[in-house]
Amino acid sequence: MSELKIGIILGSTRPGRRGEQVANWVLEQASKRDDVTYELIDIADFNLPHLDEEVPASQGLYANGHTKAWANTIASYDGFVMVTPEYNHSTSGALKNAIDFIYAEWNNKAVGFVSYGAAASGARAVEHLRLIAGELQLADVRQQVGISLLTDFEAYTTMKAIPHHEAPLATMLDQLEAWSGALREVRVGSAAIAA
């Protein structure tokens, strides 16, 4: 089988977002690993409007070109790292909207979380995403990484070197790769049964 392919989803579209620095740090760290391909997926690149599909995503009957492009992208990955800000004790509306556009493309894959925020380093956003992951049949791994805008950024704008987060990130990626590989076997087995 080919090597695993894991997408790092940049979950903010806000102008001046800090998430781009966080996602690039995750990609830099993950790219040092062997036998897995990590790629950045910026939801801003897809120009997804507020959910505009008439049929529920669970039906898989996507009508719009932007939905089909998003679905094809997500379908091509074995697992994901969601990089999320914390807005008002939850994830960003843009990330939630992107998640809601599709359904089967998330199923039987794994997800890990890297959050960023002020007081709680984005932990509450991850709590909400874990609930969503269960409904999407995404297996969320235990380890998560929380980046503080207070201590890991200079003047809330520029991310500092954060070697103290490298070990937790490595643990999260270990767990994510293990689950992504196992769930690929589940997807392959399900496809064989369906055929």
Residue 116: count other Cβ atoms within 10 Å of its Cβ: 26
Owning domain of residue 101: 4-194
CATH number of 53's domain: 3.40.50.360
β-bridge mates for residue 144, sequence order: 113
pTM score, whole prediction: 0.95
pLDDT digits (tens, 9 = 90+) for 140-195: 999 999 999 999 999 999 999 999 999 999 999 999 999 999 999 999 877 667 66
pLDDT digits 0-9 by tens, 54-64: 999 999 999 99
Domain count, the chain: 1
Q: What angle do CA 161, 164, 165 make, to 5 degrees?
A: 85
